[in-house]
Chains A and B, each alone.
Chain A
């Protein structure tokens, strides 16, 4: 038996996005797959990956104080060390992740490692950071990037089921993501909800979210016409993360910004209508699998930097309330299309997940396609094309040091 561990200390959306990597590990004969997550996500991780052994670390803000965090952490580390892993996959570029990596020899580690007291990133992740120099051309979905740490990742179509409505007459609405700027303004969301409501023949609407989303849910309800508002059930703050899979499983569709719930819905095969704006970029973190729609704001400043203040009053939210868009959402023909919006369908190719633009124009499509081919070529990945490594790719994918100096650390 060969034990492998994946350390995924980010949010539950990231946990769902780790699926292609974890399925690849699970598929390999003789592997015993372990997963280390924040302790609040242990139960969810067990539900998502029932064949994996899940370990919990206090990686997120919680109730415990520093002493309790130390104790829990040390106990978890002692258990992990005992297990003598053949490979340990670190997925997060975070100081907490590097602290965990200090437990293992760099030869065991994939993704990130600590070598001679120095935090290191692998060749693949260095390349990913190079790509982030201009996110407009993003050629790879994060779920695929993580999967490429594995030598032979499972085929993209094996990851999530093709999305199909549950035929329950229920539509879920995630009113807000963790980052307010990445969520639709209440009025725009209300316009979208009305359109979908009409197109769906008056379904039940379930407003989903945490307690802190309740004000946003109330605002949404106020923005809706009474006959629609009365069909809306506000469940924000009334359900837990553990309830979410069952709730999502019973939906015909989920309206959402780029959230963990979106990835969970994709995992379950529930169709998603996702609104991507601000720093969210569907070519990086769009829903994985077939059968989803993504509406991506595209302005000259898209995708922006999450941590920087917006000098444009979040103008990228405006096209989502444009009449031609809401008409489109309602299933009506409209000759117009908002200039700052792309309508995409989720798609898969040999390489992984992508978004195909079917409404509006993607000004970066050609460059992204070329980079995708280049990335596949240089990593020997599925979909590799010997002509992929163009001069432009060579300059963009790599920094000079990557060509000329020995790699810091070459594991994946």
Chain B
């Protein structure tokens, strides 16, 4: 049986609140993996399960004011589901991804209940400006941009802000050997995966003659793009993205902009695709971003700053496969060393420990006394079976057992029984 020692603090327990939809949704799922890799006990609030209801509201054909009111009350209801789950799970941290359905009222309630909250705002602060209203209600606010965002947060009274760039998940974003059918389906000389933002439409219209294949949504009404569009503009799964990255000689990574001009717009934050392609050991040409140099050196990233440079480098790297391979290998090494979700989540947890008084100071780490040795073995087996860390406390094991669906084993049910028995009688 695990022996509690002074340094054993129990597993950090995180309730991760996913958004209902959108680009931050996969980031949330990857962050959950990163948290688990850090020995956290993670419970996920699966907001996408509520998305169909939201869609149904939009088909009501009522006036816009009524629809607004209904959508708002729907959001409040989903927020209450989050708070109920948080109160039941008793996490050390409630971590929301951008657009997670947590109202200000819900955030206030969590604060009153003594639960710590953090937001990983993986959006452009200049476009998604709602952070001004919400940030003060989070205990920590992690962002993918630096100044002036951090200063602006500070001016709002949000002093516990953290620059936390995006990352890759090496268990998913990895080199693959594709079979012939996959090469046929996903292979290309030149690829792009992403949504059809105005700047991308303009940038890619002239690349048809270079063999560009485009995967992703929101392109379908553009006649110039249509011949290049793959899979009829369907949404591409994370797994298929990895196949496409692996199967392309050159992956274009052009950050999105809501304006068509300039097609290669200046910007600071670095998108997830940068890290994901790099982790795959695939080659990418990415637009030059303000925060890129501190993440990847010049020999780890091939960049462009306008369309002429993009075309020129496509031609150059297409003709130099060894150079592509060398850049890609260096980028993968750097990514695995520094830019994983596990590393990001470690940074976030460290920051929480540094900034939140009493973070992870639990009173429930003590194991029941007089546990016979043979049963201690059974509990240790359960800890291994549940994939918990050696730091698992009694309440961590209980929380993990409670989180399981389906019929429990004798040992699991007996542990739940014992937990309830303890609450009643000790």
User: Does A103 interact with chain B (Cβ within 8 Å)?
Assistant: yes
Partner of B407, one of A65, A98, A104: A104
Q: List, in ascending order, chain B residues with CB within 8 A of A74's CB.
A: 375, 378, 410-411, 414
Contact A105 B402, beta carbon cutoff 8 Å: no
Known contacts A67-B368, A77-B414, A78-B410: does B404 contact A117 (CB below 8 Å)?
Answer: yes
Total residues of chain B contacting the partner, CB 8 A = 31
Contact A70 B368, beta carbon cutoff 8 Å: yes
Total residues of chain A contacting the partner, CB 8 A = 28
Contact A73 B418, beta carbon cutoff 8 Å: yes
Q: List, in ascending order, chain B residues with CB within 8 A of A70's CB.
A: 368, 371, 375, 414-415, 417-418
Contact A102 B407, beta carbon cutoff 8 Å: yes
How does the 8 Å CB contact mask read for A40-72 relative to B, with 1 for contact and 0 for none? 000000000000000001110100011111110
Partner of A66, one of B403, B411, B421: B421
Q: Which of B411, B415, B418, B420 has the most CB of A within 10 A?
A: B418
- The secondary structure that dominates the B interface is helix
User: Does A100 interact with chain B (Cβ within 8 Å)?
Assistant: yes
User: Does A81 interact with chain B (Cβ within 8 Å)?
Assistant: yes
Contact A102 B408, beta carbon cutoff 8 Å: yes
Contact B422 A66, beta carbon cutoff 8 Å: yes
A103 to chain B, nearest CB (A): 5
Contact B422 A77, beta carbon cutoff 8 Å: no
How does the 8 Å CB contact mask read for B15-36 relative to A, with 1 for contact and 0 for none? 0000000000000000000000
Partner of A96, one of B375, B405, B420: B420
How does the 8 Å CB contact mask read for B31-53 relative to A, with 1 for contact and 0 for none? 00000000000000000000000
| Chain A residue, CB-CB nearest to B394 | A66
Q: Which of B411, B420, B421, B422 has the most CB of A within 10 A?
A: B421
User: Does B184 interact with chain A (Cβ within 8 Å)?
Assistant: no
The CA-CA distance from A61 to B425 in the complex, in Å, is 6
Can you name 29 A-B residue pairings with CB atoms under 8 Å? Answer: A57-B417, A61-B424, A65-B369, A66-B368, A66-B369, A66-B371, A66-B421, A67-B371, A67-B372, A67-B375, A68-B372, A70-B368, A70-B375, A71-B372, A73-B414, A73-B417, A73-B418, A74-B378, A77-B417, A94-B420, A95-B424, A96-B417, A96-B421, A99-B416, A103-B410, A105-B407, A117-B402, A117-B404, A117-B405
**Additional A-B contact list (9), CB under 8 Å, known A66-B418, A67-B370, A70-B415:** A66-B369, A66-B422, A68-B370, A70-B414, A71-B372, A77-B410, A94-B420, A99-B417, A117-B403
Residue ranges of A at the interface with B (Cβ–Cβ < 8 Å): 57-59, 61, 65-71, 73-74, 77-78, 81, 94-96, 98-100, 102-105, 116-117
